[in-house]
Structure 1
Amino acid sequence: MYVEREASVGEPASQERRNAEQNDRRILGNVVQCDGARATISAYADDVDGAVTGLWTVGKMISINLGTTRTVGLVYAIGKSDRAWSNEGQNPIEVSIELIGEVRDGAEPGAKPVFDRGITTYPHIGAIAHRIRSRDLQAVYDLAGRHSITIGTLSQDEAIDAN
């Protein structure tokens, strides 16, 4: 389950790879706590205009960019520490995630990302949580050639078949 790699594969998946003109809509929040299996992300339930975004829901997968890998987490709880909602300004929330594995880029340029269960590099305090990339979500659900039947599509990305 845990594999030591002598050399990192692929290029670093740093934020700087993004087009400078791309907006920050994928950025969701920051890691404020992490242990061996779970992490907590500090975020906002609404945008700066006060509109509830709906980006945080139980069952969604997110990614935390750690350079050469992206840690994948599954949201299992969301809450406000003060248990009060404000109609004025943003509402800070705490999002609890279970760490389920890592995605790394393939060895060849343009190759599909690869998902590995288990964590080799844990998120640090302040690490940025993102909405997971479609290609990374596909890697999580890739059955590596095993035969299956399609039962529908993922609710998080309807372009990806659920097998």
Structure 2
Amino acid sequence: MTRAEDAVHVAMTLWAVHQQSRSTEMHRPHRTDAPGGLGAAVRRLMIERDAGDAVLKRFVRIGTAPDLPTLAQRLREIIVLLREEDIPLDYALLARQLYQWQWPQGPETVRRAWGRSFHAYRAPKGDRSTGTGAPGTDAPSDSDTTSKDDS
């Protein structure tokens, strides 16, 4: 029970920092068309801020946290940046991941989920993404790709 309480406490305090004095909701449930996971939020932050390396380094540091208190502190650093750009996050999903983090093999599983979310994010049309490798901008179309059997 303590692990669950710790996970919910960390998620709720991060939400409180994120939501503080905001009129728009900073919790948004994850949807396929509007990803709300941590990885997707960090990827969007990189695009919004055009500061990929600095944000990416913080994201990597989150994944290398040795324990929950360190993880909470590193997440707080990213949440402050998400707050500045009004980028919401699915805090229920984050709470589940923080709970899972505390079990054997949990950190590896959660890191994989964050990584998949990060790499799967595609900026919606009309976002500030540029042609510099931002997600969703350089993906080949079906007509650009051929299978080896087609040749």
TM-score (norm 2): 0.28
Q: Which of the pair is proportionally richer in strand?
A: 1
TM-score (norm 1): 0.26
Greater relative contact order (CA < 8 Å, ≥ 6 in sequence)? 2
